[in-house]
């Protein structure tokens, strides 16, 4: 198979301005709306001459039944990417390789600048928000991170990802889940994390090692928060087989902006519908109680 223009050693056909990055290490979730929209424009139409979304789905190892169900959707390519990005090995390099195998180099050529830019932004963000640093090593867990840390590190049922404007709802979550018979233990950053620690490093350790689940409080303000964006993407980058079990999106008020595309494949706990509010805390508590 021909070398991908997104490998760490770019082929001669690659743009000279392309960053020297190993794209095999960049997850597909790094690709933003513009790339996904153009992919859909290319692949959604059923094509008897060139490979369409069904051919890509087969190369992504989707089953016949899955593909038949996606045929009913208005935008099957969008759903395909959202589902595939939760699987092991769903990297930018793998996606480009699949397009190459399907002989859709026209798509690669058109989208390469956009993909390069998305990957560059992703790499820069990882530099700004370090994850793989010595402090995250489990051997360092004996040092204090949360207010109740002792010889044995404090463990939690869930890490709560929220922005400051939604803190009132987090207070209600504490009351409903910790101060009732559910008796769950939540990690709330402003309450539980000791001051003077590296925010990104400690967040990474808490999500990866200390918390069984992660609850993401989605709102319009959440979409503007770099911290929330980092925490969500970090949780999604963990063990691929556990992604759908680990992360629980919660919506507690009406939103004006579109729901985050990287979370649309997950079942949402919705507090905005009066008809289901009475079940909201029961469902959320049950999800957090599962081992």
Note the pLDDT tens digit of each residue in 122-170: 777 666 544 443 343 444 444 577 877 765 677 889 999 999 999 999 9
In the chain, where are the structural domains located?
28-126, 156-289
Among 29-38, 55-64, 144-153, 216-225, the least confident range: 144-153
The CATH number, out of the four listed (3.40.50.2000, 3.40.50.10140, 3.40.50.11540, 3.20.20.370), of the domain defined by the range 156-289: 3.40.50.10140
Nearest to 220 by CA among 176, 254, 249: 254
What is the per-residue pLDDT across 221-256, written as a single tens digit (0 to 9) for each? 998 888 888 888 877 776 454 444 578 999 999 999
> What's this model's pTM, rounded to 2 decimal places?
0.51
Overall size of the chain counted in residues = 291
Buried b (16+ CB within 10 A) or exposed e, 145-159: bbeebeeebbebbbb
Buried b (16+ CB within 10 A) or exposed e, 39-61: bbebbbeeeeeebbbbbbbeebe
Mean pLDDT, the chain, rounded, equals 80
The CATH number, out of the four listed (3.30.1330.30, 1.10.533.10, 3.40.50.2300, 3.40.50.150), of the domain defined by the range 28-126: 1.10.533.10
Domains 28-126 and 156-289 share a fold: no
Q: Tell me, rounded to whole angstroms, the distance of Cα 152 from its chain centroid.
A: 30
Please check whether residue 123 is in contact with residue 30, taking contact to mean a CB–CB distance below 8 angstroms: no
Please check whether residue 135 is in contact with residue 201, taking contact to mean a CB–CB distance below 8 angstroms: yes
Nearest to 157 by CA among 188, 201, 131: 188
């Amino acid at each position: 198979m021909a070398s991908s223009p997104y490998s760490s050693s770019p082929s001669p056909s690659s743009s000279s301005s392309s960053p020297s990055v190993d794209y095999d290490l960049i997850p597909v979730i790094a690709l933003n709306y513009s790339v996904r929209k153009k992919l859909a424009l290319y692949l959604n139409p059923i094509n008897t001459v060139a490979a369409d979304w069904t051919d890509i789905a087969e190369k992504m190892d989707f089953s016949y039944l899955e593909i038949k169900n996606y045929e009913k959707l208005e935008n099957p390519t969008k759903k395909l990417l959202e589902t595939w990005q939760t699987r092991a090995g769903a990297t930018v390099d793998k996606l480009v390789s699949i397009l190459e195998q399907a002989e859709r180099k026209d798509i690669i050529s058109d989208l390469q600048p956009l993909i390069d830019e998305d990957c560059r932004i992703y790499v820069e963000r990882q530099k700004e928000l370090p994850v793989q640093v010595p402090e995250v090593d489990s051997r360092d867990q004996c040092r204090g991170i949360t207010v109740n840390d002792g010889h044995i590190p404090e463990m939690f049922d869930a890490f709560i990802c929220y922005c400051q404007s939604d803190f009132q709802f987090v207070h209600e979550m504490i009351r409903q889940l910790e101060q009732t018979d559910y008796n769950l233990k939540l990690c709330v950053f402003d309450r539980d994390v000791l001051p003077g620690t590296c925010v990104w490093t400690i967040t990474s350790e808490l999500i990866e090692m200390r918390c069984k689940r992660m609850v993401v409080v989605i709102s319009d303000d959440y979409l503007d928060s770099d911290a929330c964006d980092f925490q969500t993407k970090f949780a999604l980058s963990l063990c691929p087989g556990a992604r759908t079990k680990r992360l629980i999106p919660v919506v507690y008020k009406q939103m004006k902006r579109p729901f985050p595309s990287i979370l649309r494949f997950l079942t949402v706990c919705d507090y905005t519908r009066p008809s289901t509010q009475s079940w909201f805390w029961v469902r959320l508590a049950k999800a957090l109680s599962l081992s």
